[in-house]
Amino acid sequence: MATEPAPLEKTAAAAVDPLHTGVEPLVRFDKVVKRYGDHVVLDELDFSVRRGEHVTLIGPSGSGKTTILRLLMTLEKVSDGVIWVDGSPLSHVRGPDGSLKPAGEKELRRSRKKIGMVFQQFNLFPNMKVLQNITEAPVNVLGMDKDEAESRARELLDLVGLSGKVDAHPSQLSGGQQQRVAIARALAMRPEILLLDEVTSALDPELVAGVLDLLSDIARTTDITMLCVTHEMNFARDVSETVLMFDAGRVVESGSPEKIFTDPEHERTREFLNAVL
Amino acid sequence: MNRTFDWDAAGDALPLLLEGFRVTLLATVLGTLVAAVLGLAVAVAGRAPSRFVTVPVKAVTEFVRATPLLVQLVGAAALFTSVEPLTIGIVVLGIHYAAYTSEVYRAGIDGVPKGQWEACRALSMSPRRTWQAVILPQAVRNVLPALGNYAISMFKETPFLAVITVHEMVFEARAYGADHFAYTEAFTLAGLVFLVASYPTSLLMRKLEKRLGH
Q: Which domains does chain A have, with CATH numbers?
A: 50-78+191-276 (3.40.50.300)
Assess contact for A68 and A272: CB atoms under 8 A. no
Residue A224 to residue A211: CA distance in whole angstroms: 17
DSSP state of A2: P
Domain that holds residue B115: 13-211
Chain B residues lying within 8 Å of A75, measured CB to CB = 118, 121-122
Write the CATH number for B91. Answer: 1.10.3720.10
Instruction: Count the domains in chain B.
Output: 1
CA B41 to chain CA mean position, Å:
16
* Helix (H) / strand (E) containing A251: strand A250-255
With vertex at residue B194, the alpha carbon angle to CA B193 and CA B196, rounded to the nearest 5 degrees, is 65
Give chain A's mean pLDDT: 88
Whether B121 is covered by a domain: the verdict is yes
Whether B7 is covered by a domain: the verdict is no
Question: Distance (Å) from the C-alpha of residue A200 to the closest C-alpha of chain B?
Answer: 16
Question: Distance (Å) from the C-alpha of residue B159 to the closest C-alpha of chain A?
Answer: 39
Whether B100 is covered by a domain: the verdict is yes
Residue A204 to residue A206: CA distance in whole angstroms: 6
Quick one: pLDDT at residue A91?
Answer: 79
**pLDDT tens digits, chain A, 277 residues: what are they?**
444 444 444 344 444 444 445 678 999 999 999 999 999 999 999 999 999 999 999 998 888 899 999 999 999 999 999 999 988 888 788 878 878 888 887 888 888 899 999 999 999 999 999 999 999 999 999 999 999 999 999 999 999 999 999 999 999 999 999 999 999 999 999 999 999 999 998 898 888 988 999 999 999 999 999 999 998 888 888 889 999 999 988 899 999 999 999 999 999 999 999 888 7
- Which of A113, A119, A141 lies nearest to residue B119, judging by beta carbons? A119
Residue A201 to residue B37: CA distance in whole angstroms: 41
Whether B89 is covered by a domain: the verdict is yes
Whether B133 is covered by a domain: the verdict is yes
Question: Distance (Å) from the C-alpha of residue A68 to the closest C-alpha of chain B?
Answer: 14
Residue B30 to residue B81: CA distance in whole angstroms: 21
pLDDT in tens, A144-155: 999 999 999 999
Whether B4 is covered by a domain: the verdict is no
Q: Hey, how many other C-beta atoms are within 10 angstroms of the C-beta on A172?
A: 12
Is the minimum CB–CB distance between A133 and chain B shorter than 8 Å? no
Whether B117 is covered by a domain: the verdict is yes
* Helix (H) / strand (E) containing B49: none
pTM of the model: 0.83
Tell me which of A90, A117, A125, A181 to substitute to probe the interface with B (most B C-beta atoms closer than 10 Å): A125
Give the length of chain B.
Answer: 214
- Which of A73, A125, A189 lies nearest to residue B116, judging by beta carbons? A125
Whether B180 is covered by a domain: the verdict is yes
